[in-house]
Amino acid sequence: MIESAFVAGLVRVLFVCIIITAVYIISARNLLSIVSVYAVQSLTLVVIALLLYLLEGAPVLIAIAAITFASKVLIIPYFIATIQEKIRIKRDIQFHFLSPTSSLFVSMGLMLLVYIVLERVMAATGDRDNLFFFGAVLGISLMLMGMMVTFSRKRALTKILGFLSMENGVLLFGLFVTELPFIIEFLIVIDLIILVLLTTILTVGLDSTLEDYHKRLHRFHLWEDEVEVR
Amino acid sequence: MSLDFIIYLIINTAFILLIAPLFAGLIRKVKAWTQGRQGPPVLQQYYNLAKLFRKEIIYSPHASWIMRATPLVNMAAIMVAALFVPLVFVPEPVGGIGNIILFLYLLALARFFMALAGLDAGSSFGGMGSSREMSIAAIIEPTTIIVFAALAIVFKSFNIFVMFASSAATGALTTPTIILIGISLFIILIVETSRIPVDNPETHLELTMIHEGMILEQTGRNLALMELSAAVKLTLLMALMINLIIPAGLAVTLTAAGIFIAAILFILKGSLLAVIIGLFESSMAKKRFFQLPSLFAMAFFFSTLIIIIEVFA
């Protein structure tokens, strides 16, 4: 049996990995690497779930790790990479409301806020185990950082990646605090896969911004495999 | 001041002067390999310095005393800063030596004189280099201060000697804060030593040069001093990172065998870091000037996070 202090230490290091990937997703401009970093982030979650299994021994954690691995490490990044190959865009350099730098500053503030708020909430329940508390803070922060990606990027593809990373935050929070019922976790994953599948169908618009998506739909009607979209 | 400390001063200065050009040469070699070239020999920097030290110095007719003083001031400031960062042996700190804020401002002093010298010769490239260097310095300085503040909070000391001693005692490699500090220090290292994506140390031909632009008018022995001080600065920042993150082998007592082993290990770890820097540089393009703040913001973010974690948790 592995020592639980060692496992907790490993989980803390993985927390740092998650923060780093989240920061990368906020600030990177190269789409391809954002996708692979998203896959790495999901993989980190899988490892965290497995480590938590070692700590707690709840079999549902293995199931969560398995579906996360299958969906978020393999299937979704594969689909997005496929879309990307099709639409041949490599960079996302358009932002509105917030530049990556200012999103970083804002997310710093948000993290602090989440920390302070959660500290009070958790103090009331009396359940303030250090590791689990940090997991919860990180989960919510990751959610908010994903949200920031979603609204500060202009490209639809990056918006989706932001949304996916937000969902990773939910998963993290669920792992550490509330034990989401497995069926809900499963449904969320199905939702995500359907979302990504839909986006593969809507490829036409993905290299545009949402604003001129409508124009694009008309302009691209010659594109054979997307005719039915119109 | 004890005898140990005097021996430390001698060993540290000699060692850093000896190995500084090695790491710079190694980075250059790694970059050449990744580009499919054979590249200059690893020891090329030593040959360059030896050649430059024998050459005569030519001053521009517009140059004032600043041009003459800068190489010496620069080298002196960097060498004093070198006393602050123990490479192989950590003695008891004496007086203000080892203070991390003083360390930072010694580097700033060197940079200030270098920028003045860039303007002094009256060449337009030098002026452009100086202006860019100062703009970058103004942006990176708050970040550097925050990173060093995070260091001071984590190790509960302002003294680099104490930090090294405690990291050598615990040998902590994998705590989350150390990883975050490592990333921040790496970014500071890249920015302070003018490497890609901030500046390209290879070229003299582009209008984007920063560090090379400022030393364009330096010749002969002065140029050698400028290059040597740049190499020493690189080694210093590398040592700061290495001895905080992988302190294994760092000597805390003065024995010949301990120092020998520490020196060998330091060269190995430094070479590894140099290879990493070389690969990092090869894997990116130079960033546009106005995109640089996003790089600094990352270091700022990580070190603020460390402070938050350390203060609240």
- Which residues lie closer than 8 Å to A207 by C-beta, 6 or more apart? A87, A88, A89, A155, A157
Mean local confidence (pLDDT), B226-239: 94
Number of CB pairs, chain A paired with chain B, less than 8 A apart:
48
Q: Residue A222: which pLDDT band, with cuts at 50, 70 and 90?
A: very low
Whether B220 has a pLDDT exceeding 60, the answer reads yes
Mean local confidence (pLDDT), A175-191: 77
- Residues B91, B97, B100: CA angle, nearest 5 degrees: 105
Whether A136 has a pLDDT exceeding 70, the answer reads yes
Mean local confidence (pLDDT), B257-286: 92
Whether B213 has a pLDDT exceeding 90, the answer reads no
pLDDT, averaged across chain A: 79
Predicted local distance difference test score (pLDDT) of residue B224 = 94
Amino acid (one-letter) located at B55: K
Predicted local distance difference test score (pLDDT) of residue A182 = 75
Q: Which residue has the higher pLDDT, A185 or B9?
A: B9
Task: Render pLDDT for A1-53 as a digit per residue (tens, 0 to 9).
Answer: 567 778 888 888 898 899 999 998 888 888 888 889 999 999 999 999 898 88
Task: Render pLDDT for B101-145 as a digit per residue (tens, 0 to 9).
Answer: 999 999 999 999 999 999 998 888 888 889 989 999 998 999 999
Among partner residues B176, B183, B294, which is closest to A12 by beta-carbon distance? B176
Q: For chain B, how many structural domains are there in total?
A: 1
Predicted TM-score of the model (pTM)? 0.87
Mean local confidence (pLDDT), B309-313: 76
Query: Closest residue of A to B183, CA-based?
Result: A20
Whether A230 has a pLDDT exceeding 60, the answer reads no
Set of chain A residues whose Cβ sits within 8 Å of the Cβ of B302: 19, 23
Q: Residue A219: which pLDDT band, with cuts at 50, 70 and 90?
A: low
Greatest extent of chain A over all pairs of C-alpha atoms, in Å:
62
pLDDT, averaged across chain B: 89
Predicted local distance difference test score (pLDDT) of residue B235 = 95
Mean local confidence (pLDDT), B83-88: 92
| Cis peptide, bond prior to residue B86, ω within 30 of zero | no
Integer Cα distance of B82 and B61 in angstroms: 34
Set of chain B residues whose Cβ sits within 8 Å of the Cβ of A130: 313
Whether B43 has a pLDDT exceeding 90, the answer reads yes
Among A178-182, A201-205, B53-57, name the one with the lowest average pLDDT: A201-205
Predicted local distance difference test score (pLDDT) of residue A5 = 79
- Asked if the Cβ–Cβ distance from A130 to B313 is below 8 Å, we say yes
Whether A212 has a pLDDT exceeding 80, the answer reads no
Among A94-98, A163-167, B159-163, B282-286, name the one with the lowest average pLDDT: A94-98
Predicted local distance difference test score (pLDDT) of residue B252 = 82
Token duo for residue B283: 């894997």
Query: Closest residue of A to B285, CA-based?
Result: A30
Task: Render pLDDT for A68-79 as a digit per residue (tens, 0 to 9).
Answer: 899 889 988 888
Residue among B164, B179, B202, B162 nearest B286 (CA): B202
Mean local confidence (pLDDT), B63-72: 92
- Give the other-Cβ count within 10 Å of A135's Cβ: 23
Q: Which residue has the higher pLDDT, B25 or B96?
A: B25
Set of chain B residues whose Cβ sits within 8 Å of the Cβ of A27: 294, 297-298
Q: Is A26 helix (H, G, I), strand (E, B) or coil?
A: helix
- Write a three-state SS string for A88-127: CCCECCCECCCCHHHHHHHHHHHHHHHHHHHHHHHHHHCC
Domain of B197?
A: 3-312
Set of chain A residues whose Cβ sits within 8 Å of the Cβ of B175: 9, 12-13
Amino acid (one-letter) located at B92: E
Q: Residue A229: which pLDDT band, with cuts at 50, 70 and 90?
A: very low
Integer Cα distance of A22 and A34 in angstroms: 10
Nearest Cα of chain A lies from the Cα of B312 at a distance, in angstroms, of 9
Q: Is A230 helix (H, G, I), strand (E, B) or coil?
A: coil
- Which residues lie closer than 8 Å to B288 by C-beta, 6 or more apart? none
Mean local confidence (pLDDT), B231-258: 89
Predicted local distance difference test score (pLDDT) of residue A224 = 41
- Asked if the Cβ–Cβ distance from B301 to A107 is below 8 Å, we say yes
Predicted local distance difference test score (pLDDT) of residue A190 = 82
- For A108, how many CA atoms within 13 A lie in the half-sphere containing its CB? 18
